[in-house]
Structure 1
């Protein structure tokens, strides 16, 4: 669990300080992450987010999606639970502590409606990829519903389509009232309360398909464990960069999942 994130006088994020779960802890103490899946033949991104959330420390993870897509997930997932999307919208089943929507979800009206419905619940949420692209022609619709428990994770193109070319991360966070993590060689993170930081602990090998899906799941894991959205984004960005450095040449998003534990262990505080 996240104990502390350090930011130096120049606004550069340092290694987070993590604490291992207590000996008498329970999986429910570490939260439940819900990941929304895309349709059949577009399910891989959600699996990457789900496995990243579970590996980063969430106690439980469920992938929610259309029944046909869940059959596809079932061929790949064992420790991640599966449920139909309608059960999440109806509030059935387990309590959800953080949500990821966007990776591989597809754009369009259905995605917009789902994002808005989830935002109305004011649950901690990571909005990535298609969850942002779905609003590129109606950004104010997203901003009007956004809140300070949301983390938006655009790359430069998605950022420009939502906020414009002349806006920086701090201005964007103020406009959408959520935490903004602008991905790039240097990742910029800003919260609506004025906090800002940048992560320089990274690797060019992170520029690979699915890398952002892994980051979204890592952020959600910290949110589910009760971390402040800005600190969750900062910690996940640094650890994601550390995974990139450890993985080095030939790194793939699938392989990132197996490297996360080493990055976590290196940041564990001594008891």
Structure 2
């Protein structure tokens, strides 16, 4: 990863100590879409669990619960019926991923506004970004510096029309300042920008990530690191690098489901480096 006079994120990686328990490793939530759109949330949740979050819970509409329940094991599940029950279910969480296959509708807008009141750091992806096209200010009003937006270029244009004309690095930096949140502008050289002016350009991008669902995995990885109290900017740049490293390690034939299962190998290599 190309840095601009930044400390190496490896020095801030949240390795557990001998007395660490699951709640100290952080609590992460993922909002699922309806019954026919649950795969993205399951990918994000598994990635968050694999990267070290101690407790991961999928929050879903009631119709999705029977679909999700048989497909998860260590991941927990809580249905919610509206903003009040969503707030109760998410209260006490350290990070929540919202947007993957959530639906481009008013319910997603309401869910994001509700989650912003819980105190959890938000990782907003996919539908959670697209739904604010032409009303981006409504999203920016509820964000803070610990929150992360993870747009690809199409989603970026919907929230920040015209900014890409400045070039990707300047566009991401301007967007982070405008949103007052971390922005991860995805692409072959992903740009990570913080609202305080920090910028990182990832240099280990992998073409094998060009397949459906890999962005959902990345969102879950970022959320899982933030849940472990890693600084959101550091969490984003660490997750982007590890996401690409996992893809490179697998190579041809990669699908999104493979990525969480490659993370233990990437983590083991990083842990060995940290121990030397």
What is the TM-score normalised by the length of structure 2?
0.91
Given candidates 27, 32, 42, the residue that maps to 2:27 is 32
The 3 A distance-change label for structure 1 pair 94 and 152 is: closer
The 3 A distance-change label for structure 1 pair 120 and 24 is: closer
Given candidates 211, 220, 242, the residue that maps to 1:217 is 220
1:228 aligns with 2:231: yes
Q: Which residue of 2 aligns with 1:3?
A: none
Unaligned runs of 5+ in 2: 165-170
1:105 aligns with 2:102: yes
- In 1, Cα distance between equivalents of 2:43 and 2:162: 30
Task: Provide the secondary structure at the position in 1 that maps to 2:41.
Answer: helix
Unaligned runs of 5+ in 1: 1-5
The 3 A distance-change label for structure 1 pair 9 and 163 is: closer
- In 1, Cα distance between equivalents of 2:207 and 2:194: 26
C-alpha contact (below 8 Å) 2:61/2:80 kept by paired residues = yes
Task: Provide the secondary structure at the position in 1 that maps to 2:23.
Answer: helix
1:63 aligns with 2:58: yes
C-alpha contact (below 8 Å) 2:9/2:237 kept by paired residues = no
Q: Which residue of 2 aligns with 1:192?
A: 195
> Residues 115-264 of structure 1: matches in 2 within 5 Å?
115-167=112-164, 168-264=171-267
- In 1, Cα distance between equivalents of 2:204 and 2:234: 16
Task: Provide the secondary structure at the position in 1 that maps to 2:24.
Answer: helix
Q: CA deviation at 1:7?
A: 5.7
Number of matched pairs: 265
1:74 aligns with 2:79: no
Q: CA deviation at 1:9?
A: 4.4
C-alpha contact (below 8 Å) 1:52/1:215 kept by paired residues = yes
Alignment RMSD: 1.9
Q: CA deviation at 1:15?
A: 7.1
What is the TM-score normalised by the length of structure 1?
0.92
Identify which range, 91-100 or 120-129, moves more after superposition. 91-100
Task: Provide the secondary structure at the position in 2 that maps to 1:75.
Answer: helix
Identify which range, 113-122 or 46-55, moves more after superposition. 113-122
The 3 A distance-change label for structure 1 pair 14 and 149 is: closer
